[in-house]
Each structure stands twice: as C-alpha cells, then as structure tokens.
Amino acid sequence: MDPLIELLRNDSNRTHKDIALTLGISESEVAARMAAAESDGVILGYSAVVDRLKAGDRRVTALIEVRITPEPNGGFDRLARRISKFDQVRECFLMSGGYDLAVVVEGKDLLDVANFVAEKLSTLGGVLSTATRFQLKAYKEGGFLVNADGDEVRLPVSP
C-alpha cells in the first residue's frame, strides 16, 4: 500500500507538513497526491472515530447476516449494492461461510432496526433469510480502543 495512504488510514488528521516530513517529500506533493487519491476514488472520505457513549450517542448498531440468491449474470453485486444504498446501512460486505452478506446498520433504537429488517431488507427480492445480532458494547472500533480510561485491572489467574 502507498505509504501516504497508510499514514492517512491510521490518522487522517495529520497535517500536510507532518506527512511531508514523515515521507521526505514536499507539502505540495502531499497535497497533490491526496487530491489525486480523492479524485481517483482511492480515498472515499474522512471521518472521526468517536467514543459514542462519551458523546451521548445512544443509537444501536446491529450486524445482520443476510443470505441471498445470486443472480445469473451479476452474482451478489446488484443486490448488495441495492442494500448498501439504504440510509441505515453503515457497512456491507460479501462474506464466505454460512451467509452471503454482513450488513452493519444503525438505528435510533432496537425497534428502528427491527422495522428496517422487517419492512425494507427482508422484503427485497433475492433475500432468503436474515439473522440480526445487536452490538452490546464496543471494545475496539476503527482501530482504537473504546472506553480505555485509566489503567486496566487485571483479572486474577486461577488454575
């Protein structure tokens, strides 16, 4: 992977000057390479990784395992792209194993997610089944430890 992209992937808040010093290139080259990566679609966007509890965000997140019927000339792509366009969908991945798609959704509460599954997702032609798993607590998100205040208390080891 391009070292510039790797730096931004780990911390997109770095300044052009800091990146230039790290990579041994000019700030103008950093700006040009970033602009090219954005226009080429290599960089899709920038976002902050937020401790949602500390921010007062009480939305719920669910992982939905979806089994779908592949289409003759498009496989899973057309339906996966259609599912990805729903506002509630944060992430959508083609998976190996017992189900086809892993769909991560957010809703204002459990009922909101349940309604999404019942009224939008499961009614799509080609969706065979869904299994919804609600996130109870985050320990690591976006590569960062969540709720990592203070020293960790070690659990006692017993034989």
Tell me the CA distances in angstroms from 126 to 36, 72, 157, one per residue in order: 38, 12, 50
17 φψ region: left (φ > 0), alpha (ψ -120 to 50), beta (else): alpha
Q: Is the dihedral of CA 125, 126, 129, 135 positive or negative?
A: negative
Instruction: Verify that 75 and 18 share a domain, yes or no.
Output: no
CA dist., res. 128 & res. 2, Å (int): 40
* Domain that includes residue 121, residue range: 60-136
The per-residue pLDDT for range 92-136, each reduced to its tens digit, is: 999 999 999 999 999 999 999 999 999 999 999 999 999 999 999
CATH number at residue 67: 3.30.70.920
User: What is the spatial distance between Cα 3 and Cα 69, in angstroms, rounded to a whole number?
Assistant: 39
- For residue 32, being part of any structural domain is answered with yes
| Rounded Cα gap, residues 31 and 45, in angstroms | 15
CATH number at residue 25: 1.10.10
Q: Looking at the structure, do residues 26 and 68 belong to the same domain, yes or no?
A: no
Give the integer Cα–Cα distance in Å for 72 and 78: 11
Q: 43 is written with which tokens?
A: 């960089």
Note the pLDDT tens digit of each residue in 23-79: 999 999 999 999 999 999 999 999 888 888 889 999 999 999 999 999 888 889 999
Establish if 87 belongs to a structural domain: yes
